[in-house]
Structure 1
């Protein structure tokens, strides 16, 4: 990770700055006038400079960073905070991760100050900023070469190019374009038959009509939802385990994954899609199946990482609410209100008042995430029971009725024992006796863990022991209340309650009041999706553009705030946002309009003059060549080998094999593949366990499943090449491809077939010559291994894993 990229800054703001403010500033900041040990921790420069004993943080080197040493309490002479108890392990792990990624830190300030270089942005200033002003439809500009422009998108793009004395690139070759289109829309390569049919339609109906027909077919394909649903799962930080210290699995998370895929296939309007995820439990439903779908949608709020080993229940709830606020505002608005948890936002117009107004909304919400107490974790989160009439698949076993009664009796006995022991210990304490004799820590832990395990078993079945259909999600809590204003975000320092509400920088009068008897999530969803909200449509339009062009019109797709990038084509972005809303918030319509543009059809040909004028291609003088993501690389290998199973698997590996247990134990189960990739299904169905990803996803820059990620990084590192050379999955797909082309009549035909499958093109003369020489050089006995080696070489090429 680049030290100061958007994701790194987001990690600092959500995970590190609150810790520094809460635990460190009182002894190490200019604001308090204290610099114990000569150390100040309220700026990047001072933190890195350190104090009397040396630098507190050395970017990229946690072992040399005294801050980590101090908070870990590994040095008896250097302990912070200077009390008996050190910070929670999850916090220490976050600090270590932050330093390892280069210690990204936006706190650049003038000498002698404690805040950023500029004061926090006021609401009035914020409303003048481009992102907080409602998009306005602008007439496309007049251009000098109108025949090039196929739609209004092209007019905006060519206008910018002409202003910089640049020209667009020529159209991409048909095979190149079709391969790009297929990977972008469905995440799979076109078959040779699809390429031949596309070329034939172009000759008969014309290229434009052939492209329209192909686009419409791809948008109607069920593979579209798998591809575009995965983009949203990145944003939704989808994962099937809690992460952090305990890392307990989420066996019901797959239901949300499937909901998202179906929603994109059904082209559920984006405003409805958001409303279902934030407040589906509060929407009317026509039958049990629809009720179950809406409850599953709220899994969006339940999927986040959780410190299930947190000792303080108040802290756990506060962190849960904070994570939900961060996810929703960053995903939908590309702004994080969560940065205002312990201080007014340093860069954007969000105050602590705004934060705690939203905290009341989510604090009045009950989150079901389906874990129970075990020796590995202290926090339980009940599963959400779905209506039986929905017919949702169930993968956990039931319990015999007599065993249910036995468990209930054991639970009642444990609760009675706990009450009796507490009473006896209290009497002993009052009479000068030893309370430990009646209620020791060992007794408390035994009862706590045993009770939790029994409750966990009973929560999964009905009164007769039949297994219940369960999910992750939310409902309104039993108590609806405003959240207290917590000084510096400290749960031990609650102040006056803050009336529930929404960030004041975006004022929508008709939605200003919240009902006293509901959390306010439904009203919040309506505020987010109101046509007058200036961010929601813009942010999604930009996400769609990024997924088609590799970079957003706003490059910082998750940050539309003051510290983010400005749009390269502001009028085009507004045009797309306005069209998106006017088109019924249809993602498919938006995708269609973009891919039918001439801008999208450009080749990726390099132009030295254009590159000199615009090296980052922000003006879109060519289509950007880019490496495919991990899923497309893996799925592409399965497709060209002919082994891809396009059906949706029932449930997930986590639901069927791992269940609800610590992820640390899965390596002990011989039924679970070592690298979690024992499947021929699409990659979207692979297990996504925090800190334990399948090899191919981990190596090729899969989204960090604990963070909102609208823009994955792309790296080029040696382990990727080693995986392509030695990975069992790659070798198996090479063998499959070899089997597929082995029946061709001669080596020349085998080479041509392999090239069409892998690259959607014929080999040139030199490639054909070299391929024939390699394949045709073996004996009959050695031909199969040679052909497999040739196929693996093709799968390992840069051309295979790149889209032109």
Structure 2
């Protein structure tokens, strides 16, 4: 700061002052005019407030205390008002303080900065004094006016509020309405006509209780209520952001929530498991920690600041998820500054972050009994796959270290000569062909093939007219392309044979008798009009019998080009102690290898580190825990366990074995799972050597087809260069291998959950303004002091941190946990919680409508052992819940939002319940539970959008909670019904009414399909009688028979338009779509 010129003026003016400075008379007016607009009650820029003495002494975000008594020159507030630096001077705009005002401020500070008690311009509200931060009370049950109305304690608290407002409860709902309400409420499905009939006939006073117990015992209950929780934690099956790639192993967490609710896992245990389930034998439960959107490594900048910011963002999501889900607090504001409303300081926010500083967004192998069984299955399948690989390796062409000679083939005429021999069988095998300019590699074609005898005037003995028989690997037949055209003596594309396989195929000729042959002639199109589909690599075999055929011509037969997944280089057995893999070119960037395998003659991969092999390299581009040299031979496939060279386009690695071994196969890949194809070595050498540093070349890319970036060669085995018999054998093996690989993949998938990985915690610092590049003092794991005193040492281990946090949240002493959960349960039944802001119990949230009832419910929750089902049972059996929806004009005028519950607040069903109910009544609902979700959207490519599926069958008719949830996308039909997109937490779904809802539900293909299915079901159940069909339709859809006028109208509709039209109309009726 530049303060010297003004300092002289200030000191000069100060020397003439003799009387003491009065704060109220002299200083406070200066603050009011020049400072309060930015540092008063409305705003506190940089966290600094000057209208309250304690806040001035506390200071702001950038400094410590803003004022040091008797030391004006050392006081930040004085330095700022005297600065001449435009970037720091205060006030930043408007008139500056005059020299006399600065002198007054200087004298006041130097005289001791006396600020009399009671002189503050504002009262600092105690943020800690808030109802939700106080311990649970044990409210006494109130006395009420209608003592006969309550059915349990809930009703007495509700009635007491109604008494105060001079309101009366609505009459009790009829039995059918209550049954439909409670069945939809607890299971998300409507009751069947049989269930309605049985309940109406059962006049036992315990009938209501039996219904509730039956519904709570149903697996459908967990599916229904899990949706409420998944809304809160923003569960989805994709990662979000622009790329929005699939999160394929998210679903185990969804299944965990469903199962926990069905088992009535005590809520305190439910909390503990979701924070530290890996320590509590519930591996999938920690999926809760990482349900939010996340940037994948490829979406984060390569620079370190970008990585640090992404890490901070991910930790923030975890802290916010924990605090709002379990505690009903929004602590995210404290990432950058002290919370403006709630008693959570910035230091306390980062102390919370320290509890989860070892959590990473990632898949993890789970240890459930089912997963462990799948692990054993996977091991057995992989052993069988490796046995097939051993057999296929014997069919792999030997790598050749010389460049393969060849010549350019001609479309018009090619002659192949060889030493004459007695021939009865000739086979021409095509291994490659030229590429069509737009279609790429397509089926090769030959218009005529001639077999010429070795005599002065050669005869073409291949002609069909001489009795020669021809067969082929396969033929693409049309009017102009037929197998018999290949030896009919006529030329041109219109008289040719075309293979059925792209780039390859074979034809075989059987002569009537043996002939001495030394030459063949063939052409693609002897007329010269066509040059596409031309064979460029082939072998010619000939002999007196099929089992005596030898290769007489080999033209340009190359091994398959490299691919990103798996490449095999088979060599003649050689004994060595070292193998060097040298990369000379890549398709881009620094080369990357996920695994380098060296197989010996006994079928063992001796390159594994576990077998004692050691690896060295030319240099490593290290990303910790992702790209390291040790991953080259760790036996684990995938980009996240790979080696990357430090040089662009080149590099080398050496594998050294404990002792010399006879080797015959090297297998390598860029990314065995096939997700990445960049950084692929396209030119390479493989050498063997010993301690003398002399290397022998044994394989390389010189005998492979060139890599073409426009074509992605398939991984695995290539039949290029094999005889037909070998191709047949290879195809059988590859078909079996494909089946086994699919089974192994399914077994592996079933062992994983997107539930986070845990490592040593990162050091956590308070970050100035939330900026990872401005770390301040370190913090240790601790909770906000307004809620407790938990604090751990800095060296506390990772699982200990999460366990301690989980135990603190799940403690009966925590004032928020039980209150927040019983409020969520209440909201699920009545549409609105006792606290309307279900995830904000802080000072910006709403006050409870029934504070005593909330605390009584929370206390009862604890007394019932944190049983969620017990709370459901209590609520749905209350007289409050059993009220009708009858409208009362006087009550509505006083309490339009029905917060006092003078009637049951009817509401529209959620999107998932509407879809499930439609499928339930028509008998199409697939009740399969668990596992990967069904698709609501077709696969998309790149950054393009997701196209909705329009017609569903099989798994697509499961309950909607099992849909593959795509973040940032809404389902085409039901997304309009306020279905959240998991972009953020949804504590309470809003309920909108829009034209698109009616249009979707009436005109969609889904509704049309389900209406037809429902009509078919009704016809089967009711027979041919039209009236019976209509009555049955009403019973299934709205739990009652039609009124007389409804029956008349419905009959007219069905007679004119069919029963499916009536079903479609009822699907759109309020009676079907709303809770009664």
- The bucket for the TM-score relative to the shorter chain is 0.7 to 0.9
Q: When you count strand as a share of all residues, which structure comes out higher?
A: 2
SS in 2 for 1:688: coil
* Partner in structure 1 of residue 1029 of structure 2: 750
Q: How far did residue 307 of structure 1 move?
A: 2.2
Aligned residues: 629
* Partner in structure 2 of residue 547 of structure 1: 828
Q: Which runs of 5+ in 2 are unaligned?
A: 1-35, 48-120, 390-564, 570-580, 582-591, 597-614, 624-644, 652-668, 678-740
1:516 alignment partner, one of 796, 801, 811: 796
Q: How far did residue 746 of structure 1 move?
A: 2.5
* Equivalent-residue separation in structure 2 for 1:799 and 1:715 (angstroms): 17
Q: Which runs of 5+ in 1 are unaligned?
A: 1-28, 34-39, 43-116, 286-293, 370-382, 423-437, 445-449, 779-784
* Equivalent-residue separation in structure 2 for 1:754 and 1:390 (angstroms): 42
1:250 alignment partner, one of 247, 254, 259: 247
SS in 1 for 2:242: coil
**In the alignment, is residue 623 of structure 1 matched against residue 904 of structure 2?**
yes
1:772 alignment partner, one of 1036, 1048, 1051: 1051
1:791 alignment partner, one of 1033, 1040, 1063: 1063
**In the alignment, is residue 217 of structure 1 matched against residue 206 of structure 2?**
no
Q: Deviations over 1:540-559 (max 9, x none)?
A: 00000000000000111111
* Partner in structure 2 of residue 172 of structure 1: 173
* Partner in structure 2 of residue 66 of structure 1: none
Q: Deviations over 1:376-410 (max 9, x none)?
A: xxxxxxx2122385337699997954677969993
* Equivalent-residue separation in structure 2 for 1:788 and 1:211 (angstroms): 35
**Contact 2:350-2:779 at 8 Å conserved across structures:** yes
For normalisation by structure 2, the TM-score amounts to 0.55
Q: Deviations over 1:216-244 (max 9, x none)?
A: 00000010000011111111211001100
* Equivalent-residue separation in structure 2 for 1:398 and 1:676 (angstroms): 35
Q: Deviations over 1:561-589 (max 9, x none)?
A: 11111000000000100000111100000
Q: How far did residue 492 of structure 1 move?
A: 1.0
SS in 1 for 2:202: helix
* Equivalent-residue separation in structure 2 for 1:480 and 1:247 (angstroms): 28
**Contact 1:411-1:454 at 8 Å conserved across structures:** no
SS in 2 for 1:495: strand
Taking structure 1 as reference, are residues 619 and 455 closer, same or farther at Cα in structure 2, changes over 3 Å only?
Answer: same
Taking structure 1 as reference, are residues 500 and 221 closer, same or farther at Cα in structure 2, changes over 3 Å only?
Answer: same
* Equivalent-residue separation in structure 2 for 1:216 and 1:170 (angstroms): 24
Q: How far did residue 766 of structure 1 move?
A: 1.5
Q: How far did residue 32 of structure 1 move?
A: 11
* Partner in structure 2 of residue 708 of structure 1: 985
**In the alignment, is residue 183 of structure 1 matched against residue 184 of structure 2?**
yes
* Partner in structure 1 of residue 73 of structure 2: none
Taking structure 1 as reference, are residues 620 and 689 closer, same or farther at Cα in structure 2, changes over 3 Å only?
Answer: same
SS in 2 for 1:171: coil
SS in 1 for 2:315: helix
1:473 alignment partner, one of 755, 761, 775: 755
**Contact 1:514-1:523 at 8 Å conserved across structures:** no
**Contact 1:541-1:580 at 8 Å conserved across structures:** yes
* Partner in structure 2 of residue 762 of structure 1: 1041
* Partner in structure 2 of residue 557 of structure 1: 838
* Partner in structure 2 of residue 266 of structure 1: 263
Q: How far did residue 691 of structure 1 move?
A: 2.0
* Equivalent-residue separation in structure 2 for 1:328 and 1:647 (angstroms): 31
SS in 2 for 1:485: strand
* Equivalent-residue separation in structure 2 for 1:675 and 1:259 (angstroms): 29
* Partner in structure 1 of residue 164 of structure 2: 163
SS in 1 for 2:1015: helix
**Contact 2:239-2:967 at 8 Å conserved across structures:** yes
2:289 alignment partner, one of 282, 301, 309: 301
Q: How far did residue 120 of structure 1 move?
A: 8.8
2:300 alignment partner, one of 310, 315, 327: 310
2:343 alignment partner, one of 349, 352, 367: 349
Taking structure 1 as reference, are residues 439 and 537 closer, same or farther at Cα in structure 2, changes over 3 Å only?
Answer: closer
* Partner in structure 2 of residue 391 of structure 1: 371
**Contact 2:353-2:764 at 8 Å conserved across structures:** yes
Q: Deviations over 1:584-608 (max 9, x none)?
A: 1000000000000000000011111
**Contact 2:283-2:367 at 8 Å conserved across structures:** no
SS in 2 for 1:496: strand
SS in 2 for 1:307: coil
**Contact 2:226-2:257 at 8 Å conserved across structures:** yes
* Equivalent-residue separation in structure 1 for 2:322 and 2:140 (angstroms): 33
* Equivalent-residue separation in structure 1 for 2:371 and 2:122 (angstroms): 56
**In the alignment, is residue 497 of structure 1 matched against residue 778 of structure 2?**
yes
* Partner in structure 2 of residue 730 of structure 1: 1007
Q: How far did residue 619 of structure 1 move?
A: 0.6
Taking structure 1 as reference, are residues 482 and 172 closer, same or farther at Cα in structure 2, changes over 3 Å only?
Answer: same
Q: Deviations over 1:47-77 (max 9, x none)?
A: xxxxxxxxxxxxxxxxxxxxxxxxxxxxxxx
**In the alignment, is residue 739 of structure 1 matched against residue 1016 of structure 2?**
yes
Q: How far did residue 773 of structure 1 move?
A: 2.3
* Equivalent-residue separation in structure 1 for 2:755 and 2:748 (angstroms): 18
* Partner in structure 1 of residue 857 of structure 2: 576
* Partner in structure 1 of residue 593 of structure 2: 410
**In the alignment, is residue 330 of structure 1 matched against residue 310 of structure 2?**
no
SS in 1 for 2:356: helix
Q: When you count helix as a share of all residues, which structure comes out higher?
A: 1
Q: How far did residue 441 of structure 1 move?
A: 7.8
Q: How far did residue 650 of structure 1 move?
A: 3.7
**Contact 2:968-2:981 at 8 Å conserved across structures:** no
Taking structure 1 as reference, are residues 398 and 711 closer, same or farther at Cα in structure 2, changes over 3 Å only?
Answer: farther
Larger gyration radius, structure 1 or structure 2: 2
* Equivalent-residue separation in structure 1 for 2:238 and 2:201 (angstroms): 48
* Equivalent-residue separation in structure 2 for 1:442 and 1:404 (angstroms): 19
SS in 2 for 1:298: helix
* Equivalent-residue separation in structure 2 for 1:201 and 1:603 (angstroms): 20
SS in 1 for 2:173: coil
Q: How far did residue 642 of structure 1 move?
A: 1.4
Q: How far did residue 126 of structure 1 move?
A: 3.5
Q: How far did residue 703 of structure 1 move?
A: 2.3
Q: How far did residue 662 of structure 1 move?
A: 7.1
For normalisation by structure 1, the TM-score amounts to 0.72
**Contact 2:594-2:671 at 8 Å conserved across structures:** no
Q: How far did residue 31 of structure 1 move?
A: 5.9
Q: How far did residue 664 of structure 1 move?
A: 4.3
